[in-house]
A and B are shown apart, each in its own frame.
Chain A
């Protein structure tokens, strides 16, 4: 009881303190310093209509590379923590015919929608991470509906690695062509897509990178699901 009261008191103090700190930040007023630069130059500098993805992939590409690395470490970490020699799915109840058939029908649509999200990253909200998560959802559906389903591990892990290397490779090509890592060579050196801004084949290397990230994230999250659903089997 005393513990709980103390916790509530501390939380109230922290909340008051945060509210005081935020009270000085004006709401609804223009306070863009760097933001204005992004909004003004995003089209001619990156070819992307979606400013968020341009910031995430172009202006601050290192952050995204870091995020991809974090996700990769998370997936590897889960695999390392749950590693056993004999691990199997031990679920006993199969889904009803409604669930299994529905899953079979939905699976390609979910994948297609995931691909739609990540390929339109430079035009619409979304990008590689939501697209990849959507694709992983499709595999989660298969895992939930079928008691024996397993992702094809070899293919998945190889694709994941290749996609990660592809991202770095795209960055390295920028380094070779223009002098710094993650330079948008498709847009700035080739000038590809300059004439059709806002259509699908524009946006410099954002669609390429987001395709890579989408595939990588999709495979990784599916791998995590796979690892967590399996249990150790005693022989």
Chain B
């Protein structure tokens, strides 16, 4: 993926850091705001090179909207996942069929892969063991389909439609 210009990456880092500062201080005191801005400028100058490769393009409205929509979607999936695991633990027969399956992803960016890996780990009985290029090795508590295509469809598929738009 092509890198954005330095200015765009720097600005993006400042914006993100400043938003985090607002959440940290939870106050709109002008002193806090002024100092937070100065701090964001300084820290951004030191860290933007490793923080982002795409810069302000991350703030495209469509991406932000999908990111906000992704949060409740993901939380719901996580809730179901935990209920599912509780069911498996409490069930007298312990209905598990564990195994390691391989999945493919069509995500390109590293950040997208990171979020996908974390989303998989936090949802229905699946844990990401290793990511290599576009291959994911996933431990599944109840293997329904061991083929690459089938596993991808039921594990990575549901998240990818969001993450593809957010991170590319």
Q: If the complex has contacts A98-B113, A108-B51, A116-B25, are A199 and B31 also in contact, measured as CB distance less than 8 A?
A: yes
Which stretch (A36-44, A99-107, A169-177) binds chain B? Answer: A99-107
Interface size class of A (residues with CB under 8 A): 20 to 34
Partner of A201, one of B25, B31, B40, B43: B31
CA distance in complex: A201, B24 (Å):
17
Contact of B32 among A96, A111, A113, A200 (CB under 8 A): A200
Nearest residue in A to B47 (C-beta to C-beta)? A108
- The A interface is mostly helix, strand or loop, or mixed, namely helix
Given A112-B21, A116-B25, A119-B39: A105 touches B31 (CB 8 Å cut-off): no
Contact B117 A98, beta carbon cutoff 8 Å: yes
Contact with A along B37-63 (1 / 0, CB 8 A): 001100110111011000000000000
Residues of chain B with a CB closer than 8 A to A111's CB: 43, 46-47
B3 within 8 A of A: no
Report yes or no: B39 in contact with A104, Cβ–Cβ below 8 A.
no
Q: Which one of B35, B51, B114 has the greatest number of beta carbons of chain A within 10 Å?
A: B114
B-side interface residues, number (CB < 8 Å): 30
Q: Do A119 and B35 touch (CB < 8 A)?
A: yes
Other-chain residue from B31, B43, B114 in contact with A112 (beta carbon distance below 8 A): B43
Residues in A neighbouring B111, C-beta threshold 8 A: 101, 105
Is B79's CB within 8 Å of the partner chain A?
Answer: no
Q: Is A109 an interface residue (CB 8 A)?
A: yes
* Chain A residues whose CB sits within 8 angstroms of the CB of B113 once the complex forms: 97-98, 101
Instruction: Assess the B47–A107 pair: CB atoms within 8 A.
Output: yes
A109: chain B residues at CB < 8 Å are: 17, 20
**6 A-B contacts (beta carbon < 8 Å):** A96-B132, A108-B51, A109-B17, A111-B47, A113-B24, A115-B43
Which residues of B does A touch, CB under 8 Å? 13, 16-17, 20-21, 24-25, 29, 31-32, 35, 39-40, 43-44, 46-48, 50-51, 110-111, 113-114, 117-118, 128, 130-132
The 5 closest A-B pairs by CB, nearest first: A108-B47, A200-B31, A101-B114, A101-B110, A98-B117
